[in-house]
């Protein structure tokens, strides 16, 4: 079966920075493959473009520029926030506010987002809300291990159910 819209795809992959010799930053193997509903907008669009029309047992290898991945680093997404907003029960959690930690937060409309602690000052905390892979070139290699028709329920929900998928 060929990868196309509304197919459930299972694949293995290895993601490296820059090129085939780059640092491995993520992978999925046969025991825990990446399983997703193709065409539902859950993956990077150019990732899907590169695997569309592949079949079971096909191998793939491609590189995505930062523009086709998570975009360039946006300097306006690095902001100073008052340290007081990080207080829990009137106290600053020193363990939480460590440089390099990612902290779940919300924007002004209540949308969830994650920020990386860049710097902690006496009254301000510099947070970076760029995606961790912003500005990076991404190199993927992998193999298609299964393709099946999605159920009507999976299509209407926009994600895979069952083994390796979302459970209700």
Quick one: 11 and 51 in the same domain? Answer: yes
Whether the per-residue pLDDT at 108 is higher than 80: the answer is: yes
Do 160 and 36 meet the contact criterion of CB atoms below 8 Å apart?
yes
Band (168; pLDDT cuts 50, 70, 90): very low
CATH number at residue 47: 3.10.50.40
In angstroms, the CA 9 to CA 3 distance is 7
Helix, strand, coil percent values for the chain (each to nearest 5): 10, 40, 45
Say yes or no: 33 and 116 in one domain.
Answer: no
**How high is the mean pLDDT of the chain?**
94
pLDDT of residue 75: 96
Return the pLDDT at 166. 56
Provide the domain count of the chain. 2
164 band by pLDDT with thresholds 50, 70 and 90: low
Q: Within a domain: residue 42?
A: yes
Mean pLDDT of 28-51: 97
pTM: 0.84
Question: Is position 117 within any domain?
Answer: yes
62 with 94, same domain: the answer is no
Q: Is residue 1 part of a domain?
A: no
Residue ranges making up the domain that contains 56: 7-70+134-157
Residue 165 pLDDT grade (very low, low, confident, very high; cuts 50, 70, 90): low
Residues 11 and 66 in one domain: yes
């Amino acid at each position: 079966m060929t990868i196309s819209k509304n197919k459930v795809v299972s694949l293995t992959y290895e993601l490296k920075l820059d090129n085939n010799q780059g640092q491995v930053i993520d992978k999925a193997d046969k025991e825990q493959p990446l399983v997703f509903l193709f065409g539902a907008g859950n993956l990077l669009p150019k990732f899907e473009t590169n695997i569309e029309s592949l079949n079971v047992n096909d191998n793939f290898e491609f590189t995505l520029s930062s523009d086709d991945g998570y975009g360039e680093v946006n300097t306006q997404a690095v902001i100073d926030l008052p340290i007081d907003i990080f207080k829990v029960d009137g106290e600053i959690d020193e363990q939480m506010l460590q440089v390099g930690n990612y902290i779940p937060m919300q924007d002004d409309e209540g949308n969830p987002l994650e920020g990386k602690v860049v710097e902690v000052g006496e009254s301000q905390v510099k947070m970076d809300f760029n995606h961790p892979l912003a500005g990076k070139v991404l190199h993927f290699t992998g193999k298609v291990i299964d393709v099946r028709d999605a159920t009507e329920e999976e299509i209407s929900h926009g994600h895979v159910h069952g083994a390796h998928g979302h459970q209700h």
